[in-house]
Structure 1
Amino acid sequence: MDRRAPHAKTPGRSVPGRFRGPFTRWPRGADAVLATAMFLLAVLLEDAPGDAMAVRPVTGIFQPVLLLFAVAGVALYRRRRRPVAVLCVALVAWAPTLGSSYSTMGGIVIVALYSVGRHADGNRWGPLGVGAAIAAVTIDGLLHSFPWGDIGFGALVMSGAWYLGRRLRLRAERAARFLKEQAAEARRIVTEERTHIARELHDVVAHRVSMMTVQAGAARMVAAEDPHGALEAMAAVEEAGRQALDELRHLLGVLRPDSERDGLGPQPGLADLPRLVAEVREAGLDVSVTNGIRDPLPARVDLSAYRIVQEALTNVLKHSGPRTHTHVQLRDESDGLTIEVLDDGHGATVQGVPAAHKGPPGHGIVGMRERAHLLGGSLDAQPRPGGGFRLTARLPVKGEPT
């Protein structure tokens, strides 16, 4: 139960504020630019004396070699969908040029190795591709009589490109798995809370029906001697029946699995708020209440309002601790009931909720928001600018739940 927990995010949705580069925003366009750039580098650059690079005259390029460069560059555009095939094409195109001045496709092979690590599903092809690339680097270095240090550095770059891509892939998979688990946990909490709410509504309906049975029996007993009293009892039965049907419509909107009820008595409501306030005051919380409710509330709204206040006070006690000043305000408004719980957050933090304040198991903001949504209302919870916390719930008194 963490009042500071944000809404659960949908899996795969990017985190707001996270940097997204061009390869994430425009993958096709970025890959086209990358493939073109690597093709031009392979065509225009060549080794020069003294470990330098020089610009190659375009008119002096051997036409079959230019075709190999073009094939490797075009294949690089497909590096996300077919990374293994792209690496094979790059290595095959590079092989005939090894040991010559046209052996400048190492950059294409490096990008292809990174793509295998980043986008390939299997673990088998990466090491094989790295081995083939290192063999090509070694052959090219020996044919050019490069020092072993240069050959070793080239092999390290080849293997490092694949390893970097692989690490980024594993990191992305872990992030996606975390988001899925987070969404699954949010769904589980909502389902559990809906089950608990349905159980409570079931008890409310059962209590209404029990009252109808008692009143109908009383009307039958006095029908002969006191017709007026019998009519009043039957009118009460009619009213209770209407209320029971109204509650039942809301109950049917919440899936309730077969489970035993926690108790047989009626569920609490705002009439029990003084007892709740007394309990949390005994636990050390400084609570004041302003109750502006004038008219009786439907049982489902009365129950949910009580549970929201109970959960909010539990949250204050758990996160801000005793001696925190908390004000609970209940208001009748044109669109329904408004509940506002304010605290200054200046209490002494405790590790758990004292035993004096016991209530049904909940899930903090998630559970309270689910209660409000089932009634067609809303709930907002956020820190106050000057310290503390503000929770505002709006519960329609009439209408169907969402």
Structure 2
Amino acid sequence: MSSTHWSIRRDIALFSKGDIALAVVLTLGTAFWGDLFDDGTVRPVATTISSLGLTLPVVLRRRRPLMMLAIVSVAGLVQCAVVPGPTAALLAVPVVAYSVARGVDGTSSRLVLVCGLIGAIMGPLRWLDSPHFSAGNVSQGSLFGMLFIMCSTAVLVPYLIGRRLRENDIAAQERARAEIQRYEVTLAAREERARSTEARVRNDIARELHDVVAHSLSVIVVQAEGGKALAQRNPEGAGEVLDTIAETGREALTEMRRIVGVLRAGPGNAEYAPQPGLADIPTMTGRAGERLDLVVTGTRPAVPASLELTAYRVVQEAVTNFLKHAGPEAHCRVDIAYRPDAVEIVVTDDGLGARAADDGEGNGLRGMRERVVAMGGQVSAQPLPTRGFQVRALLPLDIDHLNVGYLDSAPPFGSR
């Protein structure tokens, strides 16, 4: 059974207790008084029964308001016929008018006004004809007018109050529905943002794939060339080189497989591997061989995974460029300084520098700059004055306090 249904049943049960109490109070307080102007000639049984017909149906005022109106209207007509004067049970009429106005929609609620108008005419006419009702010095017409106004007011005023409260309830429900609609719109916008984020992440994964392939293949090529020369002088050392090539190839294939799996799989179906970070830099640079030195100063801080990945990719791209362009006799030094406010990376080699071959089609340095700028950092990459090449990057731990741009007004990047 739905929660809405249980809520309705709970509300009905709560209202029924109050309605029963109200009906009991009206019945005990008014139904047994008889005709207010009775001199003993009116039959008390008829008066009591018709009065019960006016008060007892109040128990239905929330569950069946129109049924209550029908029963009270019939009882009122019967009382008008058998009882010559008004009774205390007529106090139930304002309750009936209010209940119908509060609980019934639209045109149907106006039935209580029709019934009230009929009662406001027939009741006073019946009472004026009764020998027990004395008008004193007031004319019959004036007395009828006063009685008509009193009876009409007893119906109209509770009806207007009930309608006003019902309109307030409807307005509150409309506001609640509007809140729900706004919430649904918010959810839809959130889902749209999630889809946009997913698309952006997939594009980032594609860029990761490019970085993995470029670096891994560069390491493999360099190690293979060195291993070929080493195989003649030191066969055992050549075996270590082959192990490095195999390990690099396996790791590259594993990462490529998972990245491609993310691109192909739907949301929630892909397996994600941990992204490389600062702790993985020594392993990555170690594969470049003896021509590369890594120097780390300071204590590695706890930083967001995105910043760790950016630092890793900066070093990876710089080392890849060194392996591709610096020449076979060049050496490289990677300095990583963990400062209180930033991570500083400097990669310097003594290779060909500006004399290195460049086909103009590379995107590695451009991608490096995009990564660093996205972290609020600064970066430069340029040939040194004499020979060699240097990459410098500053990644702030608090990106709100550093400007984004080039270090030392460095010239624009090449396509290296």
**TM-score of the two chains, using structure 2 as the length reference:** 0.47
Largest Rg, 1 or 2: 2
**TM-score of the two chains, using structure 1 as the length reference:** 0.49
| Structure with the largest fraction of helix | 2
